[in-house]
Amino acid sequence: MMAELDSKIVNYLHDRTNIKAKELAFVLKVTTRTIRYHIRSINQIYPGLLLANQEGYSLNDESYRKFLQSNKGNFISPSSAKGYIIMHLLQSSADGENILELASSLFISESYLRSLLNDLKRFAFKFNLQVSINHYHANLRGSERNKRRMILSILYGDGRLQNELQDTIQKLMGNVSIGKLYQIVIDVCSLHAVHLTPYATENIVMHYAIAIERIRLAKHIAPHGSLERLSENSIDFTLASEIVHRLPKELADHFRQGDIAQLAVLFVGNTLPKSPNNVIEAFVNPKIIVALHMALAQVSKNFLIELNNLEFFNRLALHVQGLLDRSQNGELISNSKAVEIKSTYPIIYDVAVYISSLLGDQLAIRLNDSEIALLALHIGAFIESAELNNDKPEEAISILIIAPEYEQILNEFIARLQNLVDHHIKLIVSISTPKTQGGGQYDLIITSNKIQKPSNNTITINANGAYLEIPFTVNYTETYTDESDSDPSDENFTQDVIFKINSDG
């Protein structure tokens, strides 16, 4: 895998020509001697990638294309920068992101960054979001709901996630076929009348892949704590052990009792007639449960990604428990092939980094890139599983109604409104009094009373004769096909409408 400084040099030279060693040294905060050493090293590994003349250094375009193909997943190319840019804009302050600082942090040119921002403008428009560029600052403006829709579209939309995850897991396993491992897990469970959900199967296969890589790195799990209470005669230990014994003998012989016990825990919730919470209480430190709940709540707030599925939480908690045990025993995995997810799916990796940081503060551990990448695999597997099962996290819009005199007909309005929105969106309606203060926690406020400091999400209604008028904005997309073009095109429209509901109900 290319060294970090080597990656930065190649990224900086993308879209730049004839750059002096002095400039590279200044930007990357190293000496010119270090720059020259690394450039020689890069050209030794990738002959002809970097060109040098009296004017400075440049990239060989043809060699660079071959380099990207041969280093897929091991190199953060400028084309991966879009995901990082979106995450920066989502988390930026009201002033936005400084374009020069952002370009520098990504090691791409300002002009290239501006071209990416222009691409994002068109992409964001599909979600009624606006990417605004004012001199040297960029902002992403729009509702939280629309930002959440955009994030989900990025994660689900291109259809590559499943294949990329499968490829990553296969690399962890080396010459053991992932397809064969899936079949082994299914066959062994079927033999013992244990039925797994598709996500549980995916998760177990992933943990076996991680275990295979860890064992090849001579990193083993010592029996401890809750693992020591897991009987070798239990159905869970039997399942884990039989799967291991069906692996190639030269690999199976290296699994120890602690390694199998940790894998056995993955089956507990599927083999006992107990609620999933019993599994968590028996095998996971309560501090981890508290820290993980807090971390996932912060992910929802800052990344607009919902990871509140119970099965996902329980399996992630078990993984974090194992991670904490490895950390305390000095057995953290390093140099994992899973780090390629960092460049392939920067948003997922960013979420994993954020969760790792929060868990690190709460549990007093520090994770390396490899362990963070394995955490990212968990997140990616859940997102991919939710997409395959058409079970995307449901969006919720909170509505506050302060109009007691119109309660009956407003209920009819809400019912009509629900028919207009996507079936993955639910409306949470609260009825309150005019004394209610602070409407910022609601997406929409409908009131018949004048509010002293109305926000832009407030609709004030009034009776007009026999009707109650409710102004509302509807955003929708129409698809049409031009006779001169074989591909259909989407157009976004915004229309202001007034719902008139008979005041008699």
This prediction has a pTM of: 0.61
For 273-334, give the DSSP string: SS-HHHHHHHHS-HHHHHHHHHHHHHHHHHH------HHHHHHHHHHHHHHHHHHHTT----
Q: Is residue 449 part of a domain?
A: yes
Q: Is residue 149 part of a domain?
A: no
- CATH number, domain of 59, equals 1.10.10.10
Q: Is residue 147 part of a domain?
A: no
Same domain, 482 and 347: no
Among 19-23, 308-312, 460-464, 486-490, the range scoring the smallest mean pLDDT is 486-490
Same domain, 51 and 84: no
User: Which of 352, 367, 388 marks a domain boundary?
Assistant: 388
* Secondary structure (H, E, C), 383-445: HHHHHHCCCCCCEEEEEEEECHHHHHHHHHHHHHHHHHCCCCEEEEEEECCCCCCCHHHCCEE
pLDDT (tens digit per residue) in 317-367: 888 888 887 787 777 777 677 777 776 677 788 889 899 999 988 998 888
Better-predicted residue by pLDDT, 155 or 79:
155
Same domain, 328 and 344: yes
pLDDT at 293 over 80: yes
- Token match 């499968």: residue? 166
Same domain, 66 and 86: no
Q: Is residue 150 part of a domain?
A: no
What pLDDT is stored for residue 382 in this prediction? 85
Tokens in use for 420? 């207009």
> How open is the CA angle 276-282-288, to the nearest 5 degrees?
85
Amino acid making up residue 334: S
Same domain, 240 and 379: yes
Q: Is residue 407 part of a domain?
A: yes
pLDDT (tens digit per residue) in 187-213: 999 999 888 888 888 889 999 998 898
CA distance 250 to 348: 34
pLDDT at 260 over 70: yes
Contact call for residues 115 and 81 (beta carbons, < 8 A): no
How far from 98 is each of 51, 123, 138, 286, CA to CA, in Å?
A: 31, 20, 7, 41
Tokens in use for 198? 């598709």
pLDDT at 391 over 70: no
Q: What is the DSSP letter of 79?
A: G
Q: Is residue 365 part of a domain?
A: yes
Q: Is residue 154 part of a domain?
A: no
Same domain, 383 and 486: no
- Token match 């829709």: residue? 149
Mean pLDDT along residues 471-490: 43
Distance, CA of 37 to chain centre: 37
How far from 443 is each of 143, 320, 428, CA to CA, in Å?
A: 9, 34, 10
Tokens in use for 119? 């691409």
The parent domain of residue 132 ranges over 79-142
Contact call for residues 431 and 403 (beta carbons, < 8 A): no
Better-predicted residue by pLDDT, 248 or 480:
248
Among 41-50, 112-121, 279-288, 496-505, the range scoring the smallest mean pLDDT is 496-505
pLDDT at 446 over 50: yes
Mean pLDDT along residues 420-427: 54
- Return the closest-CA partner of residue 315 out of 379, 366, 252: 379
CA distance 101 to 471: 42
Same domain, 61 and 88: no
Among 55-64, 81-90, 126-135, 159-168, the range scoring the smallest mean pLDDT is 159-168
User: Which of 367, 388, 409 marks a domain boundary?
Assistant: 388
Q: How confident is the model at residue 371 (pLDDT cuts 50, 70, 90)?
A: confident
3-state secondary structure of 448: coil
81-104 burial, b at 16+ Cβ within 10 Å, e below that, comes to bbbbbbbbbbebeeebbebeebbe
Q: How confident is the model at residue 225 (pLDDT cuts 50, 70, 90)?
A: low
- Token match 């939480």: residue? 313
CA distance 430 to 271: 41
Same domain, 317 and 289: yes
Q: How confident is the model at residue 487 (pLDDT cuts 50, 70, 90)?
A: very low
Same domain, 251 and 342: yes
Same domain, 373 and 239: yes
Better-predicted residue by pLDDT, 376 or 156:
376
Mean pLDDT across the chain: 76
What pLDDT is stored for residue 395 in this prediction? 56
What pLDDT is stored for residue 147 in this prediction? 84
Q: How confident is the model at residue 456 (pLDDT cuts 50, 70, 90)?
A: low
- Return the closest-CA partner of residue 339 out of 350, 349, 331: 349
- Return the closest-CA partner of residue 148 out of 324, 433, 286, 347: 347
Among 36-50, 148-162, 247-261, 470-484, the range scoring the smallest mean pLDDT is 470-484
Better-predicted residue by pLDDT, 167 or 155:
167
Contact call for residues 204 and 265 (beta carbons, < 8 A): no
CB-based burial label for 44 (10 Å; 0-12, 13-18, 19+): exposed
Tokens in use for 114? 């501006």
Same domain, 65 and 93: no
Contact call for residues 398 and 443 (beta carbons, < 8 A): yes
What pLDDT is stored for residue 450 in this prediction? 61
User: Which of 388, 403, 429 marks a domain boundary?
Assistant: 388
Mean pLDDT along residues 216-231: 70
Better-predicted residue by pLDDT, 191 or 230:
191
Q: How confident is the model at residue 274 (pLDDT cuts 50, 70, 90)?
A: very low
Same domain, 214 and 319: yes
Tokens in use for 469? 């008028």
Domain count for the chain, please give it.
4
Q: Is residue 447 part of a domain?
A: yes
Per 3-state DSSP, the chain is made up of helix, strand and coil in percentages (nearest 5) of: 55, 15, 30
